[in-house]
């Protein structure tokens, strides 16, 4: 009886195996072994310059293609049946220059932001550089059009509702690593350039340029390709180092730069400090916090049915160079709290909303959370532990500007321990091979997400292995320097000027002349841009809410006081002369 059971089992197993083989052969899938993943021809096809817009703008065109890549690059057993995903690639070029211009690859910040976010930038750069540079982009795996992985419902608003989807895609998420994504980029470049750059002219350059979290990906790319460098240069825009950055400190970083902003206000006596008692904006800042914490029923914010926590979140949403000059005036108005101030505060609370990323087309918060939990949330070594969620909540509540993303989003999700993947040999490490690859780092000294000491640390460490590394610290510049360094009296951005001149310079030397043109912080609210920002967020272009007559009276009183003090001094000198 037992022998018959084994015979039957063997027979059924053989039938199933034969059916699988027959099915593979019938479908043209004989699962033949591959020595390496095949480099295919670049199969470009025309597509719209803007994803939801016209085919061309100002003679700028776009082409797109999809490439199949293995879900897991970390294998030596590639076959024709290896499971794959698609990655999306797009290029923007001036007609006629697509095969002779330099290639500038733009890697966006954030782990889950699609390249559609770079469309307008790409058109502007290609146009400004008259076709000498074409912009290339690729959606990271799991993002945008690259085999998107994203919960059908809001993962932030209802994580538990997303759990079945996460479990169904668990294998995909475990392979959605920074290393596999870096290998995707390496493969895409081989397809477009050719394995030995045979598809390029000798004078064509290939430059990689990543912003914020995109710099983390590029560091992984540099690590996995250190023995076979593909590109001619790299630009890091607001660097996120591999070895020291932890997301748990995000609100502390933001608060450091908020305090730095008020320190700069104190140094600007005419434009900012003069409005505060004793010309001390820092004291006013702490007075605001204490008054609102203690006077729960009679404080200014209580009249508006809000709290310092809400104000802190609102300010974090617009902490950018063209907006941050509003904050000292906002605190001044809260402390003063007349009827006009209450109207302004009400307007500010109403119009200041969080970035609309949750649910945006192509944006994958799931991919971003998965990557961050694996590599940017975890401690540096196994002996460390993350701060408790109660600690993070308290830290966020006791800051002047904070997102509250860590205690409100990451902490609850961490309890499920379902997102993330095992780290590999590249985790928290720099490349080990010495190189002379031209690398430019641009970092703002007012970067609110990655304060400047982080960039200085990276510069010190990376320069040990790269003798051709250039670090430019940009004054009055916020996060992502290519978009956070507006210039006085000029269109464009100093960060992009530095990047563009680095790309086209014969010796990869960026033109630093724009550093002296970066706009001063207009605390007084007198420039056109400041008035526009005030109108948008305050509902008035009168930033401080002080009438001209009031200023005249104040200035006159100060002049009289100054003249009187001079007279007293002269009188005392006269008396002591006898």
pLDDT tens, position by position, 49-101: 998 888 999 999 999 999 999 999 998 789 999 999 999 999 999 999 988 99
Note the pLDDT tens digit of each residue in 505-540.
999 999 999 999 999 999 999 999 999 999 999 999
Written as one string, the DSSP assignment of 323-340 is TTTHHHHHHHHHHH--HH
Q: How far apart (Å, rounded) are the C-alpha atoms in residues 216 and 2? A: 60
Element containing residue 248 per DSSP (H, E): none
The answer to whether the beta carbons of residues 143 and 220 sit under 8 Å apart is no
What count of other Cβ atoms lies within 10 Å of the Cβ of residue 198?
7
Element containing residue 37 per DSSP (H, E): none
b/e for 15-36, b at 16 or more Cβ within 10 A?
eeeeeeeeeeeeeeeeeeeeee
**pLDDT tops 70 at residue 557:** no
| Longest CA–CA separation in the chain, Å | 134
What's the mean per-residue pLDDT of the chain? 89
Kindly indicate the confidence band of residue 322, based on its pLDDT and cuts at 50, 70 and 90.
confident
More confident residue, 387 or 344: 344
Q: How far apart (Å, rounded) are the C-alpha atoms in residues 183 and 474? A: 32
Question: What number of residues does the chain have?
Answer: 578
What count of other Cβ atoms lies within 10 Å of the Cβ of residue 390?
10
Strands 45-47 and 60-70, sheet pairing = antiparallel
User: To the nearest whole percent, how much of the chain has pLDDT over 90?
Assistant: 77
- Which tokens go with 313? 């979140």
The answer to whether the beta carbons of residues 516 and 525 sit under 8 Å apart is no
Sign of CA dihedral 70, 71, 73, 78: negative
What count of other Cβ atoms lies within 10 Å of the Cβ of residue 104?
28
What pLDDT shows up at residue 16? 43
Query: Of 361-365, 376-380, 438-442, which has the strongest mean pLDDT?
Result: 438-442
Q: How far apart (Å, rounded) are the C-alpha atoms in residues 279 and 282? A: 9
What pLDDT shows up at residue 571? 46
What pLDDT shows up at residue 298? 78
Q: How far apart (Å, rounded) are the C-alpha atoms in residues 115 and 138? A: 7
**pLDDT tops 60 at residue 552:** no
**pLDDT tops 70 at residue 29:** no
**pLDDT tops 90 at residue 470:** yes
Among 19-28, 102-111, 243-252, 261-270, the range scoring the smallest mean pLDDT is: 19-28
Closest CA to 87 of 229, 238, 190, 224: 190
Note the pLDDT tens digit of each residue in 275-299.
999 999 999 999 999 888 777 677 8
What pLDDT shows up at residue 550? 53
Note the pLDDT tens digit of each residue in 159-206.
999 999 999 999 999 999 999 999 999 999 999 999 999 999 999 999
**pLDDT tops 60 at residue 549:** no
**pLDDT tops 90 at residue 576:** no
Give the mean model confidence (pLDDT) for residues 232-249.
Answer: 94
Closest CA to 526 of 518, 517, 534: 534
**pLDDT tops 60 at residue 108:** yes
What pLDDT shows up at residue 5? 45
User: To the nearest whole percent, how much of the chain has pLDDT over 70?
Assistant: 89
Q: Rounded to the nearest 5°, which phi and psi values hold at 471?
A: -115, 125
What pLDDT shows up at residue 578? 41
Which whole-number Å values give the CA distances from 235 to 119, 209, 430, in the listed order?
A: 19, 4, 16
Closest CA to 245 of 483, 484, 74, 461: 461
Helix, strand, coil distribution of the chain in percent, nearest 5: 45, 10, 45
Measure the N-to-C terminal CA separation of the chain; round to a whole number of Å: 134
Q: How far apart (Å, rounded) are the C-alpha atoms in residues 250 and 449? A: 7
What pLDDT shows up at residue 380? 78
Give the mean model confidence (pLDDT) for residues 353-378.
Answer: 88
Note the pLDDT tens digit of each residue in 560-569.
544 445 455 5
What count of other Cβ atoms lies within 10 Å of the Cβ of residue 413?
18
Among 51-60, 326-335, 380-389, 477-486, the range scoring the smallest mean pLDDT is: 380-389
Residue 259's contacts (CB-CB under 8 Å, 6 or more residues apart) are 282, 285, 400
**pLDDT tops 70 at residue 139:** yes
For residue 553, how many C-alpha atoms fall within 13 Å in the half-sphere facing its CB? 5
């Amino acid at each position: 009886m037992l022998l018959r059971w084994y015979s039957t089992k063997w027979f059924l197993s053989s039938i199933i195996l034969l059916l699988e083989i027959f099915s593979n052969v019938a479908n043209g899938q004989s699962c033949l072994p591959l020595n390496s993943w095949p480099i295919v021809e670049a199969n470009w096809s025309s597509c719209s310059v803007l994803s939801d817009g016209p085919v061309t703008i100002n003679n700028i065109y776009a082409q797109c293609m999809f490439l199949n890549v293995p879900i897991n690059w970390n294998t030596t057993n590639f076959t024709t049946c290896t499971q794959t995903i698609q990655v999306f690639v797009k290029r923007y070029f001036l007609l006629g220059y697509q095969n002779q211009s330099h290639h500038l690859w733009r890697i966006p910040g954030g782990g889950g932001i699609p390249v559609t976010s770079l469309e307008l930038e790409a058109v502007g750069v290609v146009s400004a550089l008259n076709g000498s540079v074409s912009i290339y982009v690729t959606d990271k795996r799991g993002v945008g059009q690259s085999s998107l992985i994203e919960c059908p419902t809001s993962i932030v608003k209802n994580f538990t509702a997303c759990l079945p989807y996460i479990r169904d895609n668990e294998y995909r998420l475990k392979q959605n690593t920074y290393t596999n994504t870096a290998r995707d980029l390496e493969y895409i470049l081989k397809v477009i350039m050719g394995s030995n750059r045979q598809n390029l002219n000798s004078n064509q350059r290939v430059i990689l340029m990543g912003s914020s979290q995109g710099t983390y990906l590029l560091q992984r790319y540099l690590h996995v390709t250190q023995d076979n460098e593909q590109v001619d240069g790299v630009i890091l825009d607001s660097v996120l180092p591999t070895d020291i950055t932890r997301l748990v400190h995000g609100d502390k970083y933001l608060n450091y730069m908020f305090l730095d902003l008020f320190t700069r206000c104190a140094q600007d006596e005419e434009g900012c400090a003069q409005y505060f008692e004793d010309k001390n904006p820092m004291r006013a800042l702490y007075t605001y916090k204490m008054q609102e914490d203690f006077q729960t029923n009679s404080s200014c914010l209580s009249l508006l049915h809000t709290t310092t926590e809400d104000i802190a979140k609102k300010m974090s949403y617009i902490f950018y160079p063209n907006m941050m000059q509003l904050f000292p005036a906002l605190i001044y108005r809260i402390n003063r709290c007349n009827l006009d101030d209450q109207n302004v505060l009400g307007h500010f609370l109403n119009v200041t909303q969080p970035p609309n990323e949750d649910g945006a087309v192509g944006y994958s918060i799931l991919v971003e959370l998965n990557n961050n939990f694996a590599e940017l949330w975890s401690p540096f070594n196994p002996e460390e532990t993350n701060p408790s969620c109660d600690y993070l909540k308290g830290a966020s509540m006791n800051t002047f500007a904070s997102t509250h993303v860590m205690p409100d989003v990451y902490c609850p999700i961490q309890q499920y321990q379902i997102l993330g993947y095992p780290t590999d040999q590249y985790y928290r490490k720099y490349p080990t091979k010495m190189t002379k690859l031209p690398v430019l780092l641009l970092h703002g000294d007012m970067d609110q997400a990655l304060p400047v000491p982080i960039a200085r640390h990276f510069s010190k460490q990376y320069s040990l292995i790269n003798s051709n590394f250039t670090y430019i610290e940009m004054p009055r510049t916020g996060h992502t320097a290519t978009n956070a360094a507006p210039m006085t009296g000029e269109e464009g951005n100093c960060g992009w000027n530095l990047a563009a001149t680095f790309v086209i310079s014969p010796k990869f030397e960026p033109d630093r002349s724009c550093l002296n043109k970066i706009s001063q912080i207009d605390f007084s609210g007198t420039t056109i841009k400041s008035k526009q920002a005030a109108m948008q967020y305050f509902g008035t272009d009168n930033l401080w809410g002080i009438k001209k007559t009031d200023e005249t009276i104040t200035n006159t009183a100060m002049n009289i006081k100054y003249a009187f003090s001079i007279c007293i001094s002269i009188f005392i000198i006269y008396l002591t002369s006898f």
